[in-house]
């Protein structure tokens, strides 16, 4: 675990779907070994579909409360991962004088998909699974964790 960052911040548009899912999955995989948080460019409300698809993995997202990137008190993250173009722009702006790495993981916004409940849930699952794959690849767990 020596090559893993000690702190990671995920940033997306509203801190309502993508960044909280990524935060919860990284916390699930690494527990207290990595400090993980998430924030948004603007404030949104936690999307109930995000809660449902995370429950499918056994991860409770229901207590997440969205917060703004510009209001984050602790700006000393080793790594900031932006999940949308707007978030990436803000992350680069906010970190230009800090010694942290910024990565851009272009992540589909599942709210763009319209249709019945199952169609929309499938879009959320695809976003969740994309993030989970990226997280597992970048932050491999030494112990096997079921997710």
Q: Could you report the per-residue pLDDT of 35-90, keeping only the tens digit for each?
A: 999 999 999 999 999 999 999 999 999 999 999 998 876 567 999 999 999 999 99
Residue 108 has pLDDT above 60, yes or no: yes
How far apart CA 55 and CA 112 sit, in angstroms, is: 22
What pLDDT, on the 0 to 100 scale, is given for residue 95?
A: 86
Question: Does the pLDDT of residue 1 top 50, yes or no?
Answer: no
Distance CA 67, CA 23 (A): 13
Other CB atoms closer than 10 Å to residue 79's CB: what's the count? 20
- The pLDDT mean for the chain works out to 92
Separation of alpha carbons 130 and 51, rounded Å: 16
Ordered structural domains, the chain, with CATH: 7-138 (3.40.50.2300)
Share of residues in the chain with pLDDT > 70 (%): 93
Tokens representing residue 5 in the block: 């960052």
What average pLDDT does range 108-114 have in this prediction?
97
Judged by DSSP in three states, 71 sits in helix
Q: Whole-model pTM above 0.85?
A: yes
What is the per-residue pLDDT for 73? 65
Would you say residue 147 has pLDDT above 70?
no
Q: pLDDT (tens digit, 9 = 90+) per residue, 77-100?
A: 999 999 999 999 999 998 888 888
In the predicted structure, residue 146 carries a pLDDT above the cut 80: no
User: How many other CB atoms are found less than 10 A from the CB of residue 135?
Assistant: 25
């Amino acid at each position: 675990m020596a090559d893993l960052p000690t702190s990671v911040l995920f940033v997306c548009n509203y801190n309502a779907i993508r960044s909280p899912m990524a935060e919860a999955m990284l916390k699930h995989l690494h527990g207290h070994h990595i400090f993980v948080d998430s924030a948004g460019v603007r404030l949104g409300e936690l999307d109930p579909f995000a809660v449902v698809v995370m429950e499918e993995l056994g991860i409770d997202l229901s207590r997440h409360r969205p917060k703004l990137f510009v209001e984050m008190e602790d700006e000393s993250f080793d790594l900031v991962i932006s999940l949308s173009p707007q978030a990436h722009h803000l992350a680069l702006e906010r970190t230009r004088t800090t010694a942290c790495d910024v990565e851009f993981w272009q992540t589909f916004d599942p709210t763009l998909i319209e249709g019945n409940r199952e169609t929309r849930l499938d879009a959320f699952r695809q976003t969740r699974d994309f993030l989970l794959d990226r997280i597992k690849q970048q932050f491999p767990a030494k112990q096997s964790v079921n997710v």
